[in-house]
Amino acid sequence: MPTHSLRHLNSFKLAANAKELIDITSIAQLDALLPTSGNTLILGGGSNLLFTQDYDGLILHNQLKGIEITQDDEFYYLQVAGGENWHDLVMSCAKQGIGGLENLALIPGTVGAAPVQNIGAYGVEFCDVCEQVQAHDMESGSKQVFSVSQCQFSYRESYFKAKRQFFITGVQLKLAKKWQPELGYGELKAWAQSLNSAPTPLQVANQVIAIRENKLPDPRVLPNVGSFFKNPLVSMEQARTLKFSYPAMPQYPNQGKIKLAAGWLIDQLGLKGYGIGGAAVHQHQALVLINKKDATSKDVVMLAQSVREKVAEQFGVTLEPEVNFIDAGGYSHLDKALTYV
């Protein structure tokens, strides 16, 4: 019988239960627990998880805490435990005048989850500041340290996301003392041009917060998981054909392909505000699906499918969810969820 409610542990506020849940507050506790056998899921802040069924396994809720900062002439080195809050870390650095993380302000969740999908925003990704990742292999119980290249970071992907068997206990970040703000992203660029002098990390962080608050719904008010879909990568050829039919379509070169803006595609179809049951596409941000009122996992899955179908019909582009679907047995996906909701 499921016993642990997950409703307040996922930012979509979907009703789901877990068979077992353990708060992980020390490495020693993890050492004693691992390797685990059977279904085990790591939970951070729950801001990138979609529970489509009750979870029939053990949830390890990461609450590891601790931040240590050292430095040499050129760099600050931050050793941060995986259960720390990401945004609090960003703000603490910005307030101390340590630059490098400020573009990633207001991304919800934990530090330990940041490498998993290589979080990114406003021209900066986690991989840009990462020096190493420390993890426990849940299958063998052994400890491992990953260099940046071993993490295999790419757009919203990493080795940890591909493998799923590592519990990230901590990360080491390396931040240059000769800090250069990254202000190339549209709204940040316009703001930077209006300044009389170079901004501080704190000023950039506050501006990122202002931009995000203006366009993204606060999950505490309108439960959501941020971008529901990834921005699709298409071939140069497909991008050219699309640009011919839709001259205004935003396109960005990325890893030898072209990245399209999923939100723009959804918006073109007039889907802002479109809903199924208690789930809806946000009124102002087409890439964000929200729990408008008492949404069930079925509402969300049906809405995601409907949006995906409409985009595919119109543009011939398949949207892939960025959020992690979790069902009774663990990691799942939209097509599987459609078979049982």
Nearest one of 271, 244, 28 to 136, comparing CA atoms: 28
220 is catalytic: no
- In the chain, what is the greatest distance between 2 CA atoms, to the nearest angstrom? 62
Nearest one of 80, 84, 76 to 68, comparing CA atoms: 80
Phi, psi of 160 (to 5 degrees): -65, -35
| Site residues for ligand FAD per CB under 6 A | 11, 41-49, 62, 82, 107-110, 112-114, 116-117, 119-121, 160, 166-168, 216, 219, 224-226, 324
**Catalytic residue chosen out of the listed positions 227, 297, 308, 332:** 227
Whether the ω angle into residue 115 lies within 30 degrees of 0, i.e. cis, is no
- Residue 48 or 291 with smaller CB distance to ligand FAD: 48
Residue type, 336: K
322 is catalytic: yes
Which tokens sit at 256?
């030898």
- Residue 155 or 246 with smaller CB distance to ligand FAD: 155
| Interacting residues of 231 by C-beta distance below 8 A, sequence separation 6+ | 155, 259, 260, 261, 262
- Residue 82 or 232 with smaller CB distance to ligand FAD: 82
11 is catalytic: no
The whole-angstrom separation of Cα 309 and Cα 260 is 17
How distant, in Å, are the alpha carbons of 27, 95, 109 from that of 241? 53, 47, 38
- Residue 82 or 99 with smaller CB distance to ligand FAD: 82
- Residue 49 or 311 with smaller CB distance to ligand FAD: 49
Contact by Cβ (8 Å): 230, 297: no
**Catalytic residue chosen out of the listed positions 156, 297, 308, 332:** 156
Helix (H) or strand (E) holding 106: none
How distant, in Å, are the alpha carbons of 48, 89, 103, 235, 339 from that of 107? 11, 11, 9, 29, 32
- Residue 89 or 242 with smaller CB distance to ligand FAD: 89
Q: Report, as residue numbers or ranges, the catalytic residues.
A: 156, 227, 322
